[in-house]
Amino acid sequence: MGKSSKRRIADSANLLSSSGIFMALVLVLIAAGFLSPAFYQPGNLLNVLRQASALGILSIAQTLVMIGGGIDLSLAATMQLAVVTMAELTGGYDERVPFAMLMCMLIGAFVGLVNGVIITRFKIPAFLVTLGTSVTFTGLRLALTNGSPSTSVPPIFRFFGGGNISSIPVAVLILALVAVLAHILLTRTTFGRRLYARGANPEAARLSGVRVDRILIMTYVIAGILAVIAGLLLAGYAAHADQWTGKGLTLDSVAAVVVGGGDFIGGVGTVTGTLAGVMLVTILLNLVLLLNLNVQYQLIVKGTVVILGVAMYSLLRRNE
């Protein structure tokens, strides 16, 4: 596929993410009110926003990686390792948080570094590498804790995950900050332009002077750090440091990205489109619970969203 053709597809996908996904979101919001009057209860809306916050940050991490032509299936494992580390190092006390936060961020960066280096140095598909590191770090977490980590969450994390500032969930404010920074990174910096170029055509980007391997490694490091933030927010929201915090959210993040205009090839995606996809996925999953449907239907919803997102992008490619 030529560079100009790829660019037209990217423009079409971005248009889809800025129009079609938002139209779908509006329709789902309208339908939600008819299907379950409880959906628009203030308490439920706040829960939706809080749940969307952790997934939103994780999906932004996935967006960055997928724009660069990769994918990260180790995000949930990174979250869980960070949550367990936080619980073990703090013992539930706020005064131990600074050191624990530093260690958690280093863990996220390390996981991302391992992913990026293996992918770029050994030319192994990102899908296989991150699947392998996900299993590896999950096993490491279970081995280090004997399957029974501390469940204490410091009060400061409970505030970040479940507290409010002037009726606005703190987690939503954190998501907004991350989203703004990520948007600026992608649209206003040399790094962002090079990341899009790397995803669209790695060889052309390399010939133009872009250090494509370094860009991808840095992206995986950023994704690992964002996964840590998402995991700590989720643990704070649940007020519980569980071994399996965020289980299944990796698939949710992929669903949000592809339905928001991203793709598995690279060079395409936006923060705004991803956030719209996050809200769509979160609302649909919330409706499953409100309608008292079996939890298994959540998997059906997730799988359907991914298939629809990929199908829409494939149609755009075919038209080109």
Task: Tell which residue, 52, 61, 64, has the closest CA to residue 279.
Answer: 52
Cβ distance 73 to 127 under 8 Å?
Answer: yes
Cβ distance 157 to 232 under 8 Å?
Answer: yes
pLDDT, one tens digit per residue, over 143-192 is 878 877 667 789 999 999 999 998 899 999 999 999 999 999 999 999 99
CA distance 216 to 80: 23
Domains, in order of start, for the chain = 3-319 (1.10.3470)
pLDDT, one tens digit per residue, over 51-66 is 899 999 999 999 999 9
- Identify the helix (H) or strand (E) that includes residue 165: strand 164-165
- Identify the helix (H) or strand (E) that includes residue 169: strand 168-169
- Residue 172 or 311, more confident: 172
Predicted TM-score (pTM) of the model is 0.91
pLDDT, one tens digit per residue, over 243-266 is 888 888 998 999 899 888 888 889
Cβ distance 218 to 120 under 8 Å?
Answer: no
